[in-house]
Structure 1
Amino acid sequence: MRRYNKSYIQRIAGYVIAAGLLTTAAGCGKSFLDVPPQGQQPGEQFWKNQSDATKAVNAMYANLHEWRQVGFATIAIESIGSDDAEKGSTPADASFFNKYDDFSVTATEGQIQDFWKGQYQEINFCNQVLDNVPGISMDENLKARYLAEAKFIRAYAYFRLVRAYGDVPLRLKVPKDASEYNLARTAKAEVWAAIEKDLNDAAGVLPPSYGPTDIGRATKGAVLALHAKVAMYQKKWSDVLNFSNQVMAMGYSLFPNYEKLFRIPNENSSESVFEIQCQRIPGNADASNSQYSQIQGVRGIVGGGWGFNVPTPDLVNAYEPGDPRKEGTIIFRGTTTAEGDAIPAIGDNPMYNYKSYVPFGLFVAGYNEGADQNFRVLRYADVLLMNAEAANELGNSSQALQSLNAVRKRARGSNPNILPDVTATDQATLRKAIWQERRVELAMENDRFFDVIRQGRGAEVFGPKGFQAGRNELWPVPQTEIDISGGKLTQNPGY
């Protein structure tokens, strides 16, 4: 039975935390989360007690499903550039996505700006908690936990920024006045170090799990898994192995059915390490949910989605014969889903993202179909594959094979005739097998583009799409931010 226990992070209860851009004095545009506050609490009366601290932390979590966090900007920056996804929808609708697909995007395109804004807005929520909660008289254990949660989420936001843009301004405090708004870009090595410090601090405080009323908050497992990923991007293989080994000892397990893993009733399952929580709240159609699934939902049905971010034929061909993950990742036009929904046989898109799909029977009039659909950030299969990659890079093929084949075993299920165990022990051969497994296991989950980049294969894999080595490893810094900074911010090479 579905547990409706997530509303604590869906309500920004009666007050507003200012969420400016932080690197400059620019404001934020309107989004689906920008709703008129009811019973707004004056700022000068805030940050007084434990209730205020709780409201601030809840707002920090609620902002994670805001439009700039999981909407068009996320799809543009974290998905469309890969060989797994393309624009979708109708040819004329949101044609700017094509610029990300063929790498012709410039620094003035709106999603470049929105992704930047979204992450710094989230960082500002975190910084306000970290600056103000220490001075509140409240339960000290809860205070420590709130601060650790803020450090984890700040680390997550900076992780998204640094892999997208490289050097970015490092803002670890709320600016006191206008003189502190304008920061130059910080070398990415220093940004990575700040992320690691936040994660080290949080890991020493956060619990491995919570009771039912706090499901969705950051746990120690989430911190360690993100730290493993941060280390992987820096090729710190001993750290990747260490952190992933710790997560593997914490009781997570692979959910038996790959396709069902992504359905609403199985959110926060044994495989979930961190999910952004979304829930339909009656009377709060705008601010209570994410539009991530609506953006990618099946077009041409009553109450359906917009059909963006669709799988490519290249992804279809990437799966081994009989791999159930293909049918668990891709909805093909003219088929019937496992949940019994008939997909129109004609339309603009031959395929849709099954992982963001919501069964038609769960649509609620007046709400988008993704109102109750969580956004998966970290799951245990990713941890196992990070562990496999690190073990292989460190010369431990036995452990690498064990972790890799655990993922394949879940996908294989009860069919012994598909997805045989990988047996190669040659490091280069096994490395390719792990990379391939990451592609098919994590397809359409916003990792493929950055995986290929960190592997040094951008030109090889994305060259036919227009990728240029020395330029397209990073997205451009928003021109608006450079202009507002008076040139203090600089542009990435080639833009």
Structure 2
Amino acid sequence: MKKYIKYMLGVVLLITAGSCKKNLDVQNKNAYTYDTYFASDAVLNQATIATYATLLHNGLWAREWYFIFDLLGYEAKNDQPLTGDLLNLAQYNFGNNQPTLDVMWASLYRMVFRANVVIDRAGVWKAVTTAELAHQKQYIAEAKFLRAYAYFNLVSLYGRVPLRVSYQETTNTLEQPRSGVAEIWAFVEKDLQEAQADLPVTFANTDLGRVTKGAATALLGKAYLYQKKYALAVTELNKLTQAPYAYILSPNYSDLFTAANQNNKESIFQIMNQTWTDWGIGSQYYVFGGQEINGKATHSDRAQEYGFNDWSNVFITTTAVKAFTYAHPQTNAPYVDPRAAYTFYGDAASGGQTQYCQQCAGGPIAYPFAAKGYHYLKYGYYNLIAVYGGPQSGINGQVIRYADVLLLLAEAYIQQGNTGAEPLGLINQVRARVGAPTYLTLGNQTNAFGILMRERQLELTGEQARYFDLIRWGVAKEIINAQRSIEDGTQPFQDKNVLLPIPISEKNANPNVAKDISNDWN
């Protein structure tokens, strides 16, 4: 056998050597190029799905995204196991070499790159059948949504950034300067308007997770609101409350953050997760090196990272917990909001969940508050098991949901001085879902906005909305420093923190960005 193998290797080497001399100028017809590969419906579909895949790359929804914005928005604080670069975020003690922020920047631009490839290649694809022509529009629209999503976050977090609007710019103009904030927002709006026109209202169950016309409408309305274009925000967001859309609030708030009934009519855009073991392909962890290598299953490790009985990296902050106790809207007596019991584990007085393992054999078990303190329940599944055993949660990540839209719409009304029936009804609709007492009036604009701020905090705690809200409202320094001063005696938020630092990796690679950065920050 060994002699036979050596003989065959010799034949292969001789053939290779001979053919190399004669055929150096012959094109390999089996080799793919950028121009020839993306030439079928199946391949362009794969390219579109690969653009979605970046949502679960490093710095985004599989792992770092929730750490970044729960810590920066002070809805989470470090437990003792939290160390290194994540601890820098918790203490606002980071610079432009912060690794987690660096990979977030890289993943958002990777999303832009892949979206640009899809838009470029699908645009020149010779679609023939009716189905192919429909898919051609759909793939381009999906890619434009995802590109807009990436730039929505980049401009919100960093302000001026390089705007790479085509595949050619992405690959050939690596030293592109930063564009103005208004130009980037205009590009986001255009992408979303065009995506909105060509996306379907719904997909079949086999395509759950793909972006819809409603997702594009929601993100466009949100983009208008972030720019203080309140009338336009009302127009867009209000569309989602009527036909052809059929969004409703899930009757059970917990369905949005557990494995049960999570693909419900409240979700407008979510990250679809499923564990490796659900697919029967072992226990490889997507978030720790398994991305786009070992199969199609994805998962989040938030449950494991935040879990009080597992890695316990963070607490929910005491100030976030205390926000759930406020004056009753009608009697003015102290009142504990029902959403507390779905958001965190705590003691009875706080309204937090006081037991776990409700569905375990022999359960439930009393939550050991005296030893553990306040910990996150949202996005956890201790109702099913006492210990997770690995970072492989299949619970979907909520990016945009209907309750968020209703509160954004209420805010757009209030910001224009309307504190009447429209915003009152929207806020009360969100409260009624969990059985919270309704407001009879919102009062003047200042009072109404205060109510709106609290409603967004309580409804969206631990969903990475708080930081974005505080920044765009212009109150991040005031509120975060006040909370930190009470809780740990620090005031870490500085004026420069209203924008994140441009990563040193971008500065080192792009001299046109480097010369546009002040004080090694932004």
In structure 1, the residue matched to 2:103 is 114
Q: Is the 8 A contact 2:359 2:384 kept in 1?
A: no
1:182–1:403 Cα change, 3 Å: same
What is the Cα-based RMSD across aligned positions, in Å? Answer: 2.7
1:394 to 412, 416, 432: 416
**Correspondence 1:198 to 2:191:** yes
CA contact (8 A) 2:270 2:399 kept: yes
Which aligned pairs between 1:77-88 and structure 2 lie closer than 5 A?
A: 77-88=68-79
Looking at structure 2, the residues matched to 327 and 363 of structure 1 have their Cα atoms a distance apart, in angstroms, of: 18
Provide the C-alpha distance between the structure 1 equivalents of 2:229 and 2:236, rounded to a whole number of angstroms: 11
Superposed counterparts of 1:379-418, under 5 Å? 379-397=401-419, 398-412=421-435, 418=436
Q: What is aligned with 2:253?
A: 258
Q: 1:368 aligns with which of 368, 375, 391?
A: 391
Give the Cα separation in 2 of the matches to 1:41 and 1:440. Answer: 55
Asked if the contact 1:149/1:202 (under 8 Å) is kept, the reply is yes
Question: Per-residue CA shift, 1:421-479, capped at 9, x if unaligned?
Answer: 25123111101100110010111100101101111112210224435453111111111
1:444 aligned residue:
462
Partner residue in 1 for 2:350: none
Q: Specify the alignment match of 1:269 in structure 2.
A: 264
Q: 1 CA distance for matches of 2:266 and 2:50?
A: 26
What's 1:124 paired with?
113
Contact 2:63 2:302 in 1 (8 A): no
Q: Which AA in structure 1 matches 2:305?
A: Q
Q: Does 1:318 align with 2:347?
A: no
Q: Is the 8 A contact 1:50 1:137 kept in 2?
A: no
**1:242-296 CA distance string (max 9 Å, x none):** 1110011122111112123311122221111110111232226334213342453
Distance 1:485 1:256 in 2: 50
Structure 1: which 5+ runs fail to align? 1-39, 413-417
Work out the CA distance in 2 between the residues paired with 1:492 and 1:75: 28
1:148 is paired with a residue whose SS is helix
Question: After superposition, where does 1:309-348 map in structure 2 within 5 Å?
Answer: 309-320=314-325, 321-332=335-346, 335-337=354-356, 339-340=358-359, 342=365, 345=368
CA apart distance, 1:347: 9.9
- Of stretches 79-88 and 282-291 in structure 1, the one that deviates more from structure 2 is 282-291
Higher CA-based Rg: 2
2:222 aligned to which of 221, 229, 232: 229
In 2, distance between residues paired with 1:467 and 1:197?
37
Deviates further, 427-436 or 325-334: 325-334
Kindly state the Cα deviation for residue 353 of structure 1 after the two structures are TM-superposed.
Answer: 2.3
Aligned to 2:453: 435
User: Compared with structure 1, are the counterparts of its residues 155 and 349 closer, same or farther at alpha carbon in structure 2 (3 Å cutoff)?
Assistant: farther
Could you tell me how far apart the structure 2 residues matched to 1:80 and 1:112 are? 13
2:373 maps to 1:350: yes
User: In the alignment, is the contact (CA less than 8 A) between 2:137 and 2:198 conserved in 1?
Assistant: yes
Structure 1 pair 469/367, CA: closer, same or farther in 2 (3 Å)?
closer
What's the TM-score, normalizing by structure 1? 0.83
Count of aligned residue pairs for this structure pair: 444
Deviation at 1:382, TM superposition (A): 0.5
User: 1:457 corresponds to which residue?
Assistant: 475
Instruction: Identify the residue that residue 55 of structure 1 maps to in structure 2.
Output: 46
1:16 is matched with which residue? none
- In structure 2, relative to structure 1, the CA distance for the partners of 1:313 and 1:296 (3 Å cut) is same
Q: Whose helix proportion is higher, 1 or 2?
A: 2
- Cα deviation 1:204-245 (Å, max 9, x = unaligned): 111111121111111111111111111111111011111110
Q: Could you tell me how far 1:176 is from its partner in structure 2?
A: 6.4
Alignment check: 8 A CA contact 1:152 1:202 kept: yes
CA separation of 1:456 and 1:101: change in aligned 2, threshold 3 A: same
Does structure 2 retain, via aligned residues, the 8 Å contact 1:271–1:380? Answer: yes
Normalised to the residue count of structure 2, the TM-score between the two structures is 0.79
- CA contact under 8 A between 1:86 and 1:309: conserved in structure 2? yes
TM-fit CA distance, 1:419: 3.0
Deviations 1:280-327, CA, capped at 9 Å, x for gaps:
322263342133424534243xxx4x3334310001100132311111
Report which structure shows greater RCO (CA 8 Å, sep ≥6): 1
- Give the direction of change, closer, same or farther, for the CA distance of 1:297–1:439 in structure 2 (3 Å limit): same
Q: Give the C-alpha shift of residue 358 in structure 1.
A: 2.5
Task: Give the CA deviation at 1:173.
Answer: 1.4
Distance 2:259 2:372 in 1: 24
Structure 1, residues 338-391: CA drift from partner, whole Å, max 9, x if none? 744647638985233222212464799996331x21111000000100111111
User: Which AA in structure 1 matches 2:164?
Assistant: R
Identity of aligned residues (%): 28
Equivalent residues of 1:296, 1:353 under 8 A apart: no
